[in-house]
Structure 1
């Protein structure tokens, strides 16, 4: 089954904010946001042990435990095992820094071996209060690693996580597997392998209005040729395209702020919301199966649903291209 056939609809809910990303979110607010996503018709939920050291999975599981399991699709990730032991020092998450400093205090083991993969899945099932996972992504295998070091980590995942997940898919335990990363190189390397063969990938922040040219040059042509689907994560580029101040998990630099200002000027001229432009741009590529947008307040989910359904005139897309704000090679809605 292809990723597009497996996923129910084009809009998913990304749960990184439920792990207290950037700020401590009250429990009631977090649970209400998941419930709002359900009420808005969202039936695909993506999470990970890394998000708040299990906190996002716990919160998501609390709400979804009361929903019919056959009515939604659930994906989580492997590569980080949440330990019972608590951190005594500030954890080093490299370029993701203090992203989840307000999450659970548990230590996290970074490991992509077969044993760690199986343990991670078992732990996620408990936190999510479910008996099965529909999709499993191999998380951040290139994060903060360079040269021979990252290739060694990739080899650990190839001989460990990749093979475990391929077996589980072939046995019907999971529906699909792939990579969940914010770099294109590990996906390209995986697609070049004879085996194991992934079903798709979740690419965070690399096919957005602000960053898409690199994905267009190699990765997406390879994926399209092989019939491999993409879930676009972080369609708002860490929040800067949704009224926030972060880009790439940090405060946005001046050149990004200036580019966003140009985008907002153009959307205002056409009476279009920038959220609609962001989501519909990411969905326009034929490889894209869905977008997953995070939210920390119930009203934000309603905005995402409205943005997905908003009518964006073809003239907007033509002017967007003419202004040099998107790559000439990027597919646009309406064939603009």
Structure 2
């Protein structure tokens, strides 16, 4: 598949039905595409006077919903502004997360400004990723990893090889095998330190949807017949996303999670031939051993500044921005003073 999974109608339907905490919120489509036949719109949720992106804990990347080629289809700022002007109950907008390179953001921001909103961007997360050399594949990638990581995985493989039975399966197609694999994943996740999913029906639905579209790579590592590590990867849009990782407690010494992660890396690089492996959201320290590129993820907040209902939130946001800027300037100043007042060797 070529289209981004997180910008498909099926993704937003699944998120709304099973991955979104709702309490009387209204689902809407805003900011229609400038090309009518493209059928692209921005899925949002209205909660009182606030408009939010239809995104949640499960969303690694938010963007317009539509058909193939949507990344090149522009949003119509004029139409988006007219829609907002009619929705007089809306006094604030918050959209996240997106990448700095996402083309739709500038169109949506223009629509907001035309409708009388003041806009700010803010950093809402961190994303680690790894560009893949199609010529070198996994072998070239693995040679560039820190020796500490390579040695850890090598030792763990030797330990696992001495066990009576160790196997790794990668499930990708719908059917009975997938149903059993989903149950195994859920059992491992529930037994791990991560605990209970906030929306328990979302992950089974996502794995089933991804399998139907050929995007699922569900990795299971079995030790003596027991699944001790499980990972959900999604292959789409020319990249492989590491979506969820879990392992049972008591197996840290065998590094089963790292062994499975390396096996999944080899599969998506050498079999799926992806151009990028993406660790999605999170700035966990271990990710820099597996990935080489770190970039921020962004959000957009906007206020209809003439509407008094938004003033408390607007003041809090502006105050936070000013405070962050002041802290940064103070840190720069202290660093400059430290550089100029370092004692010389003659003192």
TM range (shorter): 0.3 to 0.5
Query: Which is richer in helix?
Result: 1
Q: Report which of the two structures shows the higher radius of gyration computed on alpha carbons.
A: 2
TM-score, normalised to structure 1's length?
0.34
TM-score, normalised to structure 2's length?
0.33
